[in-house]
Amino acid sequence: MNFKLALIYQKLYLCFMSFVGKTVSFHTLGCKLNFSETSTIARLMLEKGFQKIAFEQGADVCVINTCSVTENADKECKQIVKAALSKNPYTFIAVVGCYAQLKPDEISNIEGVDVVLGASEKFKLLNYIHFSGKNTQTEIHNCDISDVQTFVDSFSIGDRTRSFLKVQDGCDYSCTFCTIPLARGKSRSDTIENAVLNAEKIVASGVKEIVLTGVNLGDFGYGIEIDAQTRKRKQYTFLDLIKALDEVEGVERIRISSIEPNLLTNEVIEFVANSKKFMPHFHIPLQSGNNEILASMKRRYKRELYADRVAKIKELMPHCCIGVDVIVGFPGETHQHFMDTYEFLNVLDISYLHVFTYSERANTEAIHLKDSVDYAERKRRNKQLRMLSAKKIHHFYEQNLNKQFTVLFEHENKNGLMHGFTENYVKIVFPFDESLVNQSITISTKSITEDGFVNADLVAYAQ
């Protein structure tokens, strides 16, 4: 054997052996995309000999995957670090993700953090781990976000009945309130071939539901490199992707996590309506129901287009679940602007709301806008829309009573009860039965519980 090659093998062996028997735990904040990436980092570490244990057990290494959308990201990160050190004062703490890319210096000032890794470095975590004691000074490894040129595929398996499959990253939009492009860079995508390959791996692991994730999912198809002949960056479309995934054998369900209304085409809606694998469930960000505020946010549509998308979905899939993201208290949002949003949502045939209170973010355009909304008023508006959301979801559940659906139950046992979702995202509660976990169960919906779930009778299931 070549001497240099032998040295390389020896180095790799010693590196592997240094991790064998060491334990690692993970704490993930934020979106489904973060969960998919945490799972990928975990697999890389398990392959090198780590053993994954619960966060509460005090691992040798603790990985905290952060989110920049969280209003109190700094406070949350401090609390998690403190909790990790309380379980094991010698744990090696790595903070990665969006917040780590945006505010590495802030994180480095948190006592106990050993390394901070940005957008491209987080998947190279193994290169920065050592067990020679806690770092006396926090290491920071991140690059300028404009230098992030590659797409790293990720998917989650092993923890849930469903898997989050990352197919897109970054965003080319310039919404005035958003830091995501600063944390994740330009829009870039996986290839369809690799996305299909990952879907096949997920199915082979026993997972029956795949959730497609990305920063701007409907923008799928862009790569960083520009084709020298066509000068176009787009290689595929989102429709091309879902058509290919629909052909993957063994997958029972596929969901679209979130898609911008201007990218949700009639063709995509029609395809989902006719697919046996894609579920009748859309999550479509609105942010405001007032066109002036939408323009101030630099959103790429007006509320009329949003209403048209909802109408098209309900025309083809009357039972479809539609979730909506809304921001309240954006600078310049008057009482009338807010009431426009409220009334627009009140009459719209949607199923639930995710309500966010606007908070100022450094390095965004919105932070310089005038007419800031009083914080107490922001909270009041948030509460008002959350009450509307409760009414919407109760009405949606009522529409789906006394009907048969297929449910995929989760593994978790909560006080003798198990939960699962129908095709159209009605949350079902049922007495826990291990034999029903991760099985396709036909149920008949009965009534809405005090907790806001739906009781059901079991009709049949196929193992």
Residue 228 has pLDDT above 60, yes or no: no
The model's pTM: 0.89
Residue 309 has pLDDT above 50, yes or no: yes
Could you tell me the fold of the domain covering 3-143? Rossmann fold (3.40.50)
Average pLDDT, whole number, for the chain?
89
With cut-offs at 50, 70 and 90, classify the pLDDT of residue 14: very low
- On whether the 404-462 domain is CATH 3.40.50.300, my answer is no
Pick the CATH number of 309-396 from 2.40.30.10, 3.30.750.200, 3.40.50.720, 3.30.70.240: 3.30.750.200
pLDDT digits (tens, 9 = 90+) for 352-365: 999 999 999 888 99
The domain spans of the chain are: 3-143, 147-279, 309-396, 404-462
Q: Any bridge partners for residue 256, and if so which?
A: 212
pLDDT of 286: 98
Give one DSSP letter per residue of 78-136, joined into a string.
HHHHHHHHHH-TT-EEEEEEHHHHH-HHHHHTSTT--EEE-TTTGGGGGGG---SS--S
Identical fold for domains 3-143 and 147-279, yes or no, is no
Residue 225 has pLDDT above 60, yes or no: no
Residue 388 has pLDDT above 70, yes or no: yes
How far is residue 262's CA from residue 269's CA, in Å, rounded to a whole number?
Answer: 12
| Residue 228: partners with Cβ closer than 8 Å, 6 or more residues away | none
pLDDT of 235: 74
pLDDT of 143: 80
pLDDT digits (tens, 9 = 90+) for 177-194: 998 888 898 999 999 999
More confident position, 69 or 454: 454
Residue 72 has pLDDT above 60, yes or no: yes
With cut-offs at 50, 70 and 90, classify the pLDDT of residue 85: very high
Residue 148 has pLDDT above 50, yes or no: yes
pLDDT digits (tens, 9 = 90+) for 327-375: 999 999 999 999 999 999 999 999 999 999 999 988 899 999 999 999 9
Token pair listed for 66? 């952060």
What integer is the mean pLDDT of 77-83? 90
pLDDT digits (tens, 9 = 90+) for 204-218: 999 999 999 999 999
What architecture is the 147-279 domain classified under in CATH? 2-Layer Sandwich (3.30)
Q: Any bridge partners for residue 323, and if so which?
A: 283, 352
pLDDT of 343: 98
